[in-house]
Amino acid sequence: MNDDYIREELRSVTGMLMQDYGMGRGIDKIDVFVQPDTDIITDITKKLLNILFPGYYREKTYRSYNTESRISVLIEDVAYNLRKQIAIALPYSSNWAGSSYEALQEEASRIVLEFLKRLPMVREYVDTDLQATFDGDPAAFFYEEIVLCYPGLLASTINRLAHELYLMQVPLIPRMMTEYAHSRTGIDINPGATIGKYFCMDHGTGIVVGETSIIGEHVKVYQGVTIGALSTRGGQRLRGSKRHPTIEDYVTLYAGASILGGETVIGRGSVVGANVFLTRSVPPETRISVKTQELIVRRGGKGAEEPVQEEAWYYMI
C-alpha cells in the first residue's frame, strides 16, 4: 500500500467518525472545554493534601523557608484553579443551567472561599482518623508511616475534602476527587457518604461505601467490605432515597462483609465477622459470624479424607 492510499483511507475513517459523532448519544460529546479537567482536579487534590499535612508532602514547584508563605501560595493556587473548575461544573446542576458567566463566577468564588474556611474542620476529622489507625494497628510504628503509606487514610482524607464540596452541591468535582483516590488505593467511597470521627480502614483494598451511607464514630472497616445498596434495579428512580446502610458508633466490620440496604442499621458496638452477608438490622452489642465451614484434609495424597472442625470467629491479621 502506498502513502496516498493510506492517507485517503484515513480521511475516510475520519469522515465516518465525524458522522458517528453526530448521532446525539451519551458518548458523542465533543467539546472538552465544558467539563472539569481531570488532571487539574488531581493537581488540586494533591495540593490540598499538602495543605492538610504541611510537613508530610513536599511541594515540587514552590520553594520557601517560611511555612506561612508556602501555605499562602498553595491556597492561592488552589483557590484560583478550583474556582475555574467549579464555574465550569456548575451548569451541570439544574439550578445553574443557563446562568450567565458572571453569575457562575460569583457562585464559584463563594463556594471556594467557604470550602477553604472548612479546611481546619477537615483537619480535625483527619487527625482523629490518623489516631484511630495508629491505635488500632500494632504494625504501625509512627504517624509518618500511616500518612505516607496507608491507603485507608489517604482515601478517607480525600473523601472528607470531596464531601464538603458535595454538601455545597458542586457537581462532578467531588466524584472526580474520590475516583482519584479510588485509582490510587482501590478504595471506593462515594463523596456523599457521611463519616464520623475516628474512622479506620485497615488494609483498605476493595472497600466500597455507597452515597447515602451513614457511618458513626470509632468505626473500623477491613479490606473487601461493602456498605452498599440492596438493589439498584430501580435505576434513576432511586436517586435521592436512602439506599445504603447506617453503621453506628464503635462498630467493626471484618474482611469481606457485605452490609446492604437503606433500612439496615448496624447497632452501636456490634461486630460483623468476615464474609457475612447482611440485609437486615442488628441491635447494639451484637456479634455476627458465618457458621464454620467443614474443611476436608487428605493426608499423603491417597489417605482417607478427614473432616476438620475449626472454631468460628472473626478475621484478624
User: pLDDT tens digit string along 107-116?
Assistant: 999 999 999 9
Determine the pLDDT at residue 317. Answer: 34
> How many Å apart are CA 8 and CA 307, to the nearest integer?
71
CATH 1.10.3130.10 range(s) for the chain read: 30-200
Q: pLDDT by residue (tens digit) across 21-39?
A: 999 998 998 887 789 999 9
**Tens-of-pLDDT digits for all 317 residues of the chain?**
788 899 999 999 999 999 999 999 989 988 877 899 999 999 999 999 999 999 887 766 666 678 888 899 999 999 999 999 999 999 999 999 999 999 999 999 999 999 999 999 999 999 999 999 999 999 999 999 999 999 999 999 999 999 999 999 999 999 999 999 999 999 999 999 999 999 999 999 999 999 999 999 999 999 999 999 987 777 777 787 899 999 999 999 999 999 999 999 999 999 999 999 999 999 999 999 988 777 777 776 665 566 655 555 444 33
pLDDT at 301: 61
Predicted TM-score (pTM) of the model is 0.88
Superfamily of chain region 30-200: serine acetyltransferase, domain 1 (1.10.3130.10)
